Structure 1
Amino acid sequence: MKPLSTAVIAGALIALSACGTPAQEQTGNPGAPSESETLTVVTHDAFTLPDELKEKFAEESGYKVTYVAPGDSGTLVNQLVLTKDAPLGDVVYGIDNTFASRASDEGVLVDYESPALPGNAQQFAADQLTPIDFGDVCINADKAWFEERKLDVPTTLDDLTDPEYKDLLVLTNPASSSPGLAFLLATIGAKGEDGYLDYWKALQDNGAKIDSDWTEAYYTDFSGADGDGPRPLVLSYATSPAYTVDGESSTTEALLGTCFRQIEYAGILKGAANEIGARKFIDFMLSPEVQSAIPENLYMYPAVIDTELPEDWARFAPLASSPIEVPAEEIGANRDRWIQEWTEAIG
């Protein structure tokens, strides 16, 4: 199925929100937090919390809970901005650190600091948002492909431009994909504003393919995992090799020298009809049950960092010891310009 354009999705969502739903019905004292019998949770399209946990929250809270997923992290924030005068719901999960400043700057959110957030997770904090999980976006390699050809697996960003890896890499578009934007930021952090476009041109000259989203790249063009594509290098996550384990080893590996750390947040939407319910949902996302479920369902590390991890993660899903970083304030000030520059030069 051909994906709908952002403009079509935006128009549909605006029309839907304009009709009026329980999520827009304000109740109670205007000066007090709102509450209603329903709660609408807006998420990115990779939100796969187990149904039993969703049911547990609905039963314990007493709300009729609806989940709305307009797209990936970037699309999600775009739709929240477009519909901020008639919000799509009450609470959002899935805004990441590449788009967090846009959500705050556009007045999409209201302040909330969850009492369930432990001190060891404060390192991930962002304005108006509560960290729920984190992980590293990195290049992944199909180990068997390289072993069969007796070719060394690349380890660095510079290796990816080496002619011996020509036509082997598939990336995702930073204008339409949150992992793609994370990798764009990794190249900016590593090469600087003066060098990142030259680096991308070198990737392009070396035959890198750029897909619109992660699913297409990982499951269609990548030769490893469940894919049957021609390319043994793909943009994915450091946790991905934990899900390609065969016996005592994984068939893929993450190149930890290429990583950018992604943090995912939850927040209360301005104009929420059920702000009290939104607070409860954020607190629930930090509960031991949900945090324990995050690795095997959302494929990220829990923000509550002392949460017990799956046994395979220590061996096959290690975090990068020194991920490439770009300060949040620089992302906020330059993100749109960087995407535009990339689109004009590469996209």
Structure 2
Amino acid sequence: MRMHSTTRLAAVAGAATLALTLTACSSDDASDAASDGASDTVTLVTHDSFNVSPEVLEAFEAESGLTVEQVAPGDGGALVNQLVLTKDAPLGDVVFGVDNTFASRALDAGVFEPYTPEGLSDDAAGLVLGDGALTPIDMGDVCVNADTDWFAKHDLAVPTTLEDLAKPEYADLLVVTNPATSSPGLAFLVATVGAFGEDGWEDYWASLADNGVKVVDGWEDAYSVDFTTSGGDRPLVLSYSSSPAFTASDDGTTTSTTALLDTCFRQVEYAGVLAGAENPEGAQQLVDFLSSTAFQEDLPGQMYVYPVDPDAALPAEWEKFAPLAPAPFEVDPADISAHRDEWITAWTATVVG
């Protein structure tokens, strides 16, 4: 869940590492900090779609005295892979963007140092993972989205269910993301496991493959390249229930897309302090910031996800165009942990070959 178009709702996967310095300290400052045994720089490892309003980040930096640098290895799946591969020499101090479908992989690898901010809401506290190692920051429903203008122009009914997507009239219209590299892609795979069960989900994906589903590595490719609203040729795309708020008209009265709320899986994104961090104190302050009201209320407009703090204010258009699914598909987290790799392998054999 993530900047839309330039914001996420989920995210590009890639093996390459992109280091983006949001602000930089001088070498003299760095030397002074090192001589004091502390650092005024904290490095955030995150997915490619992380975004925050400059004024919100600047306020945190001014108050804390910290400079935030960002390292982005890719989408959520690539992010977790890199965290595990570099656990003995971590890429930074703190991570944001590990979600509930990939979290157990990083937890099992011992990537995090337990830390939980004080004052979390009851809702957020109930989502904490790994004995305090991962703090929930945002949530959103991964769902198929439809370009309603395209369907109206082609005199074709908008599909509503997972089963509809495999019907002949929707052949070659859907683009999804690879669950091996994309956290939304994995969330959607898990949704189909929840919908069709262990004995039926592979057959369902075989029917999607026969119906011409297109698979790309990450959300950015799917939404910003292949989706018809971006000039592509696929009017059905895997995205988020909040995405239609992004395509709302300037006056906020209409939107050109809709989320299929009967196709959803609820995704939660987490932050945590990395074990072996060079600046663990700064990392804790950054996790506190990500949990703060200022950042929580900035989330919807920057990454098109819901804050986990139920008291955080939401943009007005979200009430009209960005509803959460009333009954998203569910799979026990223990089952996801136990079978995730097996499911991805079976999915790859079925869909990619």
Q: TM-score, normalised by structure 1?
A: 0.89
Secondary structure, counterpart of 1:210 in structure 2: strand
**1:153 equivalent in structure 2:** 158
Relative distance call for 1:5 and 1:124 in structure 2 (3 A) is closer
Aligned counterparts, 1:299-314, within 5 A: 299-314=304-319
Alignment match of 1:36 (pick from 32, 35, 39): 39
2:216 pairs with 1:221: no
RMSD of the alignment, in Å? 2.0
In structure 2, what is the Cα distance between the partners aligned to 1:66 and 1:147? 45
Alignment match of 2:303 (pick from 294, 298, 302): 298
Relative distance call for 1:125 and 1:26 in structure 2 (3 A) is farther
What's the % identity of the aligned pairs? 54
**1:13 equivalent in structure 2:** none
Relative distance call for 1:35 and 1:275 in structure 2 (3 A) is farther
Q: Following TM superposition, by how much is the alpha carbon of 1:35 offset from its aligned partner in structure 2, in angstroms?
A: 4.8
**2:57 equivalent in structure 1:** 54
**1:327 equivalent in structure 2:** 332
Q: Following TM superposition, by how much is the alpha carbon of 1:150 offset from its aligned partner in structure 2, in angstroms?
A: 2.4
In structure 1, what is the Cα distance between the partners aligned to 2:291 and 2:14? 34
2:204 pairs with 1:199: yes
Aligned counterparts, 1:61-210, within 5 A: 61-127=64-130, 128-210=133-215
Query: Counterpart of 2:346 in structure 1: which amino acid?
Result: E
Q: Following TM superposition, by how much is the alpha carbon of 1:58 offset from its aligned partner in structure 2, in angstroms?
A: 1.6
Relative distance call for 1:42 and 1:116 in structure 2 (3 A) is farther
Relative distance call for 1:134 and 1:312 in structure 2 (3 A) is same
Query: Counterpart of 1:285 in structure 2: which amino acid?
Result: L
In structure 1, what is the Cα distance between the partners aligned to 2:110 and 2:164? 42
Flag structure 1 segments of 5+ consecutive residues without an equivalent: 11-21, 29-33
In structure 2, what is the Cα distance between the partners aligned to 1:241 and 1:284? 28
In structure 2, what is the Cα distance between the partners aligned to 1:278 and 1:214? 28
In structure 1, what is the Cα distance between the partners aligned to 2:172 and 2:287? 43
Query: Counterpart of 2:105 in structure 1: which amino acid?
Result: R
In structure 2, what is the Cα distance between the partners aligned to 1:157 and 1:302? 27
Q: TM-score, normalised by structure 2?
A: 0.87
In structure 2, what is the Cα distance between the partners aligned to 1:339 and 1:159? 23
Contact 1:116 1:283 in 2 (8 A): no
Query: Counterpart of 1:121 in structure 2: which amino acid?
Result: A
Aligned length: 324
Q: Which stretch of structure 1 is more off in the superposition, 284-293 or 143-152?
A: 143-152
Query: Counterpart of 1:343 in structure 2: which amino acid?
Result: T
Q: Following TM superposition, by how much is the alpha carbon of 1:157 offset from its aligned partner in structure 2, in angstroms?
A: 0.3
Contact 1:27 1:273 in 2 (8 A): no
Relative distance call for 1:57 and 1:216 in structure 2 (3 A) is same
Moved over 4 A (4+): 25-28
Write out per-residue CA displacement over residues 184-203 of structure 1, whole angstroms, 9 at most, x where no aligned residue.
11111111121111100100
Contact 1:241 1:316 in 2 (8 A): yes
Q: Following TM superposition, by how much is the alpha carbon of 1:291 offset from its aligned partner in structure 2, in angstroms?
A: 0.7
In structure 1, what is the Cα distance between the partners aligned to 2:195 and 2:126? 22
Contact 1:27 1:36 in 2 (8 A): no
Write out per-residue CA displacement over residues 222-279 of structure 1, whole angstroms, 9 at most, x where no aligned residue.
112xx11222111111010001012411000000000011101000100112211111
In structure 1, what is the Cα distance between the partners aligned to 2:49 and 2:351? 27
